[in-house]
Amino acid sequence: MYLWKCWRDTRSFAVVFMVMAAAVMPVTAAIGVGTTLLEKGFAKGIFISTLVFMLFVVALGLGAIGAIQEFTDKTAHFLFTKPRPRFYFVWIGWVVGCTEILAIALVNVLVGGITLAHYGKIPFGSVVFDLIKKQDVAPILIDALFIYSLTYSLTAVLRNGLKGLGASMGSLAILQALAVAIRMRWNVNVPLPPQPIGSLSQAISNLVWMLVALLLVFSAQLVVERVEI
Amino acid sequence: MNELAIGTNDLAKTYAGFHAVCGIDLNVPRGTIYGFLGRNGAGKTTTIKMLMGLARPSAGSAHVLEMDVSTKRIAILQRTAFVSEKKTLYPSLTPAELVRFSRGFYPTWSDHAVERYAQLFEIPMKQKFDKLSNGNQTKVFLLLALCQGADLLVLDEPTTALDPVSVDQLLHVLAEDALDRGCTVFFSSHQLEEVEQIAEYVGILDHGKLLMEARLDDIKSEFRLITAAGNSLPAQTSPQILSVDVEGDFHRYVVTKDADAFAAGLAGNGATITNIASLNLREIFLHLVRKETPCISGNVGATPVPLQ
């Protein structure tokens, strides 16, 4: 039902990025063959930075196109007269986007891991284990989920994908600027996702950032539940 | 009195100081077709939105299928099919995909009805919604509503953009199929002829006030336009006098019952009765909506005629 409809709305976007996620490392590695860059860790650097960039774009994009499209399409009267509570629609839409982000990340990590293993002549298992152990991937994922949740919530609240995207990018920029300003003025380190919070470990901080992301969606739910059509 | 499919009590809606609906008392009996009439901006759509849980009442209460709209929204929607005034659906989905989307929400969904109505309304099921003509878009909306197996059909101007043949088919479906299933049909319209063709009850709304609610047969058999000339004749409305139009010495009364007795009473007060005429729905509608002053005080009570 609504899950299928959300997937249908976002599948083109998700599939394009999934293909990019699968292609970026093999292409980079193929270009780097014959140089010493692959052995010097260049490939891993490329892998991490492409993952960060790709998930950032995917999070913003899915947040803007996946959230309660009914307001933009002017079909809210149709959806919200279906016998389901409104929070159902808010969370189903969020879950679909979340799953797509995780799938894109998974494809990127798997193909990237295989590529690194192949060209670096090291076992695939140890490449992936190394990425997880060094906390390379988890904070990137948490950051992506936070950005996605922020964009999704703002899009749902503002009832418009473009406005949601703009507000989200603006909020992220303002948060960064505020954090820098506070650090420079008062020498206080304000953590932003996915940085560790105070003395908490990265794993615990990741959980806290996840909760913050869920709270953003919950606040969007409260707004959507109150909206009159 | 029958059980009510829709019942409202002093239901009102205010938008930023504007009184869209001013304390109306609707009584829609179960298993009937009820025509909800009014001019543009009369408050019909706002009333329907409150019944469907799309807008919150500012005052009063509403019950649909004997459930409170403010607390039992999901249970109501489970048993109610709704066609909105705006006939917009997901532009990139085909009618077949819209059927697939809608089907899962309703345990009483009928695929047999989908086939039947798609054929009857000649809907191109494989064409994307935004590529359909306006008339076909309306038909898709109706198809989705009719196939739900709902106990109550709430249709907000369902014949918009439909050609005369399709209108006739729809009215036939509503009058035959829906009623056969014991379904109640509550529909708003500007098309008085359509309402007169199938409705058993009518309610007339103007400037947010329910001016009249009556059985159509009663209108035909009881309602009369009495023209009288004389001085000091009554000029106030009452449950019996639906409207009074005064021009010089001439008074024109629309009375809801006992027209002969009323005319005799006027004659007893020295009036000369110049005419007593029966009325059709169109004439009643025009008499009512041309005379009432706008609701400006907020919770002005309507003067409904009790259902018989």
How many Cα atoms are found within 13 Å in the side-chain-facing hemisphere of B54? 19
Q: Would you list the domain boundaries of chain A?
A: 2-226
Question: Per residue in A59-83, pLDDT tens?
Answer: 999 999 877 778 877 889 999 999 9
Report whether the peptide linkage leading into residue A194 is cis, meaning its omega lies within 30 degrees of zero.
yes
Q: Where are the alpha helices (DSSP H) in A187-201?
A: none
Nearest by CB to B78, from A75, A77, A83: name it.
A83
Q: Mind listing the pLDDT tens digit for each residue in B137-156?
A: 999 999 999 999 999 999 99
Is B101–A75 a contact, with Cβ atoms under 8 angstroms apart?
no
Answer whether A11 touches B (CB < 8 Å): no
Any B CB within 8 A of A163 CB: no
A105 touches A137 (CB < 8 A): yes
**Which residues of chain A neighbour B53 with C-beta distances below 8 Å?**
80-81
pLDDT tens-place string over residues A136-149? 788 899 999 999 99
3-state helix, strand, coil in chain B (%, to 5): 30, 30, 40
CB B54 to CB A75 under 8 A? no
Tell the burial category of B293 from Cβ atoms under 10 Å away from its Cβ (0-12, 13-18, 19+): exposed
Phi, psi of A59 (to 5 degrees): -65, -45
The partner residues of B24 in beta bridges, in order of sequence, read B11
Contact of A134 with A192, CB cutoff 8 Å: no
B81: enclosing H helix or E strand: strand B80-83
H helices present in A35-123, as ranges: 42-66, 70-73, 76-79, 86-120
CB neighbours (10 Å) of residue A205? 20
How does pLDDT run along chain B (308 residues), one tens digit per residue? 458 999 999 999 999 889 999 999 999 999 999 999 999 889 999 999 999 999 999 999 999 999 999 999 999 999 999 999 988 899 999 999 999 999 999 999 999 999 999 999 999 999 999 999 999 999 999 999 999 999 999 999 998 888 899 899 888 888 888 888 889 999 998 888 888 889 999 999 999 999 889 899 888 888 889 999 888 888 888 888 888 888 888 888 988 888 888 889 888 888 888 888 888 888 888 888 875 444 444 333 344 444 44
Residue A75: which of B53, B88, B106 has the nearest Cβ? Answer: B88
ipTM > 0.90 (yes/no): no
User: Which is nearest to B143 in space by CA: B158, B130, B131?
Assistant: B158
pLDDT of residue B82: 95
Pick among B21, B79, B88 to test the A interface (most A CBs inside 10 A): B88
Q: Residue B293 corresponds to which tokens in the numbers above?
A: 């002053």
Helix ranges (H only) for A121-160 are 124-133, 138-158
Position A39 scores a pLDDT of 64
- Chain A contacts of B93, Cβ < 8 Å? 5, 8
Which tokens sit at B300?
């002005």
Query: What is the C-alpha separation between B185 and B145, in angstroms, rounded?
Result: 11
**CB-CB under 8 Å, A81 with B102:** no
Q: How far is B75 from chain A (nearest CA, A)?
A: 7
* Nearest CA distance, B84 vs chain A (angstrom): 7
pTM: 0.85
Q: Is B43 exposed, middle or buried (0-12, 13-18, 19+ CB in 10 A)?
A: buried
Nearest residue of B to residue A74, measured between CA atoms: B88
A107 CB-near residues (< 8 Å, 6+ apart): A18, A21, A22
Whether residues B88 and A78 touch (CB distance < 8 A) is answered with yes
